[in-house]
Structure 1
Amino acid sequence: MRIEVVEGDITTLAVDAIVNAANESLLGGGGVDGAIHRAAGPGLLDECRALPEVRPGVRCPTGEARITGGHRLPARCVIHTVGPLWRGGDHGEPERLAACYANALQLASDLGLASIAFPAISCGVFGYPHAPAAAVAIGQLRDWSADLPERALLCSFGSDIAAEYRRLLAG
């Protein structure tokens, strides 16, 4: 898999799928989740509402992934995943974050998607520190052995996490 680092707005990327760092309800929120919902338009919210709840208010538990159409986005699909809330790193956060990447990649592979773009999952309001989050992301992408996706973009709105991605990819 070819891994690229992109600084900018994930909602503008013309890839097969963008990953949404969502909350468990999948009904929109702040940060990248809110930006994706705004850019995709109301059809995305309608499609998310139609996804079954696994328990009241939860359509996607932490670490799992769900897929919807891209609606008004240049991306064909949105893969929603819920990253862990950072609680110091001793509460399974690395494993749950790794599951986000693995499950998103598996959905993309199962659907024959060649390109996927990831935001910095859990690095916003969920408080995951950039360096360990970047290490998990790069580790999961490098370990991915399926034929698809062929190309993964690590998209960050700020330069801090992008610099960490680049540092890890160079090493």
Structure 2
Amino acid sequence: MPPTTTITLVRGDITTQHVDAVVNAANSSLLGGGGVDGAIHRAGGPAILAACRRLRDTAFPAGLPAGGAVATVAGRLPAKHVIHVVGPGYRRDEDRSAVLRSCYVEALRVADDVGARTVAFPAVSAGAYGWPLDDAARIAVVAVHETVSSVQEARFVLFDDHALRAFEAAHALLPAGPAEL
């Protein structure tokens, strides 16, 4: 079965997206942080942190491993779920591309598990974790394009014009053609 997920690219704030699930570029503790993670926790409110604490007390006492994904409530966000993924830090001396790819594949798997049909993604690992933006965009777009899922729309919500251009360039290389903007 060929991939059927439509990829869209927008510049904006991921915390304001009206989708079934928002993907959070979390750290392994799941207890909040900076960047996208901090923004999602702040906008979503204490319900997200409480759900993450329960996960740490039960399924992930050592934290969520890099490349993994897990869903929680979305609190005050205009979404039904938050799918937390832990991206790898970039290292020139070690290829961690498969782990970054896994963030997107696992997020789509979890989205299918919770019945999400629209999912908003950030540029995982392209901020504080130092992944070069062009490479992060390529890995993200290809992973979502190649993963068979019931998700109808994967919306990459990029934080600035530079990130948007990087994702547009990566998407333009796919066989399916340019994104629906």
What residue in structure 2 maps to residue 150 of structure 1?
152
Matched AA of 2:67: G
What residue in structure 1 maps to residue 33 of structure 2?
29
Query: What are the Cα deviations for residues 39-71 of structure 1, in whole angstroms up to 9, with x where unaligned?
Result: 000111111000025354x1x110000100111
Q: 2:124 pairs with 117, 121, 126, which one? A: 121
3-state SS of 1:135 partner: helix
3-state SS of 2:83 partner: strand
Within 5 Å, which residues of 2 pair with 1:8-157?
Answer: 8-51=12-55, 52=58, 54-56=60-62, 58=63, 60-88=64-92, 90-146=93-149, 148-157=150-159
TM-score, normalising length from structure 2? Answer: 0.89
Q: 2:170 pairs with 163, 168, 171, which one? A: 168
Distance 1:12 1:29, change over 3 A: same
TM-score, normalising length from structure 1? Answer: 0.94
Matched AA of 2:39: A
3-state SS of 1:152 partner: strand
- List alignment gaps of at least 5 residues for structure 2: 174-181
Distance 1:2 1:54 in 2: 32
Distance 1:169 1:92 in 2: 22
Distance 1:42 1:55 in 2: 20
Query: What are the Cα deviations for residues 56-111 of structure 1, in whole angstroms up to 9, with x where unaligned?
Result: 4x1x11000010011100011000000000111x4241000000000000011122
Distance 2:84 2:166 in 1: 23
**Identical-pair percentage:** 44
Distance 1:134 1:3 in 2: 12
3-state SS of 1:50 partner: helix
Distance 2:45 2:27 in 1: 18
Matched AA of 1:11: T
Q: How many correspondences in the alignment?
A: 167
Matched AA of 1:127: G
Question: Which one is further off, 26-35 or 159-168?
Answer: 159-168
Give the CA RMSD over aligned residues: 1.1
